[in-house]
Chain A
Amino acid sequence: MNPLRWAPKQRLERCIALGALVLVAVWPALGLNAYWSHQIFLQTFLFGIAAASLIFLSAYGGMVSLAQTALFGIAGVIIGNLATKGGAGGTSKGLHLGWDPTVAVLVAVVMTTAIGLIFGLVAARSAGIYFLMITLTFSVIATYTLGQVTKISGFSGIGGISSYTPGWLGDVLAHPDRLYYLALGVAVAVYVLIRYIVRTPFGLSLQGVRDEPVRMSSLGYNVALHRTLAFGFAAFVASLGGILYVWWSGQIAPGNVDLPGTINLLVMAVIGGLVRIEGAWLGAFVFIVIQNYVRDFAVPGLSFGGTLFGGSFNTIVGIIFLVIVLASPAGLMGAWDRAVAELSRRRGPPRTADEPAPGPGS
């Protein structure tokens, strides 16, 4: 691809994305604000991975899945059960099998993908809004299962997981930068992988299934199989995010995957826009900045007790979410696409700029 032949919009997007990527790549090396790197950017990477799995299903499969948070959490719980050890200084909850953490990661990824395939198999014959409802029940059922099956988690969840990371990663608390670069690398890899998958024959027929399931079916494509496999792939991506998350936070509990948790991930995806993969990291970044800095935001006249109407952060999230779905259902990426289209329409003949930019902009 010749950079000179990119449309101006593409060139601009790629410059922004590349600049953001370079910025986050050098941020810890330059010793800049550690709170931003270890809280905001790191969370952006790992929640962005989970949001990317949601956006992948939505943008290329036409399936808005609310089960991604549950799969994210299931991967974390599996790591927590397999890798931690009981006894003095160990964790109190979970099976604490004390496996080698690298093996535990592989098993967690495989098991989560398998659970995703089962979820996909059950939901695959439905589409659209029905799919949303079914995956929401998966999510809530997973939360209650984790909460009530005390052997594997229980309501308080599993803690101390960050002490049981693989040797090549080291202690997360002592060397947070290693996890930072790992998460950044996985995020970029996930982005590239998704961009690759959607151009394979499987990805193309998946988009056919999204647009014309009946026609694809009569052409001999197995619609349910495509949806199931896409769901399994998204579960694989979500499991990577979940594993990074438990290493980062050190703990996983049903509270991480409950209905508010599910909605938070959806809010990230919707802020970014359910149409383009880049939106995952953009949405996660915006959400996490809001979460960190708007907690005690007071609106004059509407707030008492320091917060909006006396509510907490969630009221503000709800209102932001409401404004976005009312104003621009395609999120920030959609608003950007629309703004550029509007601008170029005013300035002259439209140029085709269908191809989105690379790099997980943050």
Chain B
Amino acid sequence: MAAAVIFAVLYVAVIAEQSPATGGGGWRTTTFGSAINDPGSFLRVLLDSITFAGALFIVASGFALIFGLMRVVNMAHGAFYLLGGYIAYEIQQTMTGQGFSIPSAEVNTWDWLVPLFVAVPSIAVVGFVTQQAFLRWNQGQELRQALITIAISVIIADQIIAHFPRSVSTGAQRLGGNAVDLTWPGWTDRLVDLHVWGVYYSLARLVMLAIGAAVGVGLWLWLYRTKTGMVIRAGVDDQKMTSALGINIQRTFAIAFVVGSALAALGSVVWASQGNIASGQDAQWLLNSLVVVIVGGMGSIFGAAAGAILYAFVLDFSGSYLPTAGADCCTQYSPIFTFILIALVLAFRPRGLFGRDG
């Protein structure tokens, strides 16, 4: 296994070759060539994965927070993600008064921040209602709670198709969960000169990374430097003992669920501004959150960060550095590499990299 990992690293570093102008190429042929020959592209892919890890971390840390404290696998996390993105899209459409696709020059900072500040509390409320109505009274029944959140995710995902996106509907005919873009504020829509190997890199993606890092630092300060955070960490370790000490654990649960859901919406706004938001992505982001948490381990934001970075690396590098020869040019094998990542981590650490028994 170690040999396979070393081979993968060597492949990216020196073995890969840029595809010739004509002809098929062989097993060494990739889009960019090796890191030695084409360091600029390598750096760009590296930055792509790190910035994507920022978005991944935002969404997955919310999932991990809920799971770590309450042992609730919130299967509706992906649906919350989707709903948050669509709500933000509607607000941005209304504010800019633009049509289907907005040029980023038309979007100022407020046109991006206000949708964010509406979508995040909305999903926090949805999360709060879900937790209070459906999960509060059956604490400890892990499977039943997972099934309940699956049912909720089915309902939300279907209602999204029925009602979103509103602003591009024409009369009675709705467009039913179509792909739409949020738009970053205009000032982020430029390339920054990194002064390394002549690489220019998207400022928007760097902003995304900064938001991810800010969420990470914020969560760390909250969990490790405040009283609420202390209670949450105590709850992760021993729920019964914590409540026996006179702490209102139900209140802590509610707070954690609200924050966790809000992070799904925040991540959604950030990533939908970079890519898009479309019906069906709830499955994608549920998978993303699950992989990050399975790889990283439970109950610690370091686990979520490590999981997000590893997963983003595997996705982006397998997308960019797999052989692209011949008729097989358009196949994406990256999902298989995700499976290999999970298999490798679980083979050595059944509870994830930072997971603890219990």
Contacts and interface: CB of A to CB of B under 8 A. Distances in A.
A148 B330 CA distance: 8
Contacts of B351: 126, 130
A122 B151 contact: no
Given A141-B338, A151-B328, A314-B154, A126 B162 contact: no
A140 B283 contact: yes
Contacts of A339: none
A122 B134 contact: no
A311 interface: yes
A151 B332 CA distance: 11
Interface residues of B, number: 48
Interface string A107-137: 0000000000000001101101110111011
B129 interface: no
Contacts of B334: 148
A123 B144 contact: no
B248 to A, nearest CB: 25
B335 A148 contact: yes
Contacts of B343: 122
Contacts of B330: 150
A93 B77 CA distance: 34
A259 B286 contact: yes
A269 to B, nearest CB: 10
Contacts of B151: 318-319, 321-322, 325
A312 interface: yes
A311 B146 contact: no
Contacts of A260: 154
Could you tell me the dominant secondary structure of chain A's interface residues? helix
Contact of B294 (A133, A145, A326): A133
Interface string A132-162: 1110111011111100111100000000000
Contact of A151 (B153, B284, B331): B331
A321 B141 CA distance: 17
B283 A125 contact: no
B155 A319 contact: yes
Contact of B158 (A133, A134, A144, A314): A314
Contact of A137 (B143, B155, B294, B328): B294
A150 B329 CA distance: 10
Contact of B142 (A128, A136, A141): A128
A133 B350 CA distance: 13
Interface of B: 71, 73, 134, 141-144, 146-148, 150-155, 157-159, 161-163, 280, 282-284, 286-287, 290-291, 293-294, 328, 330-336, 338-339, 342-343, 346-347, 350-351
Interface of A: 64, 122-123, 125-126, 128-130, 132-134, 136-138, 140-145, 148-151, 258-260, 263, 266, 270, 305, 307, 309-312, 314-315, 317-319, 321-322, 325-326, 329
7 contacts: A140-B287, A148-B333, A258-B283, A259-B286, A260-B154, A325-B148, A326-B148
Given A144-B287, A145-B335, A258-B280, 18 more contacts: A122-B342, A122-B343, A122-B347, A123-B346, A126-B350, A129-B73, A134-B294, A134-B346, A137-B291, A141-B339, A148-B331, A151-B328, A259-B282, A266-B150, A312-B158, A314-B154, A315-B154, A322-B155
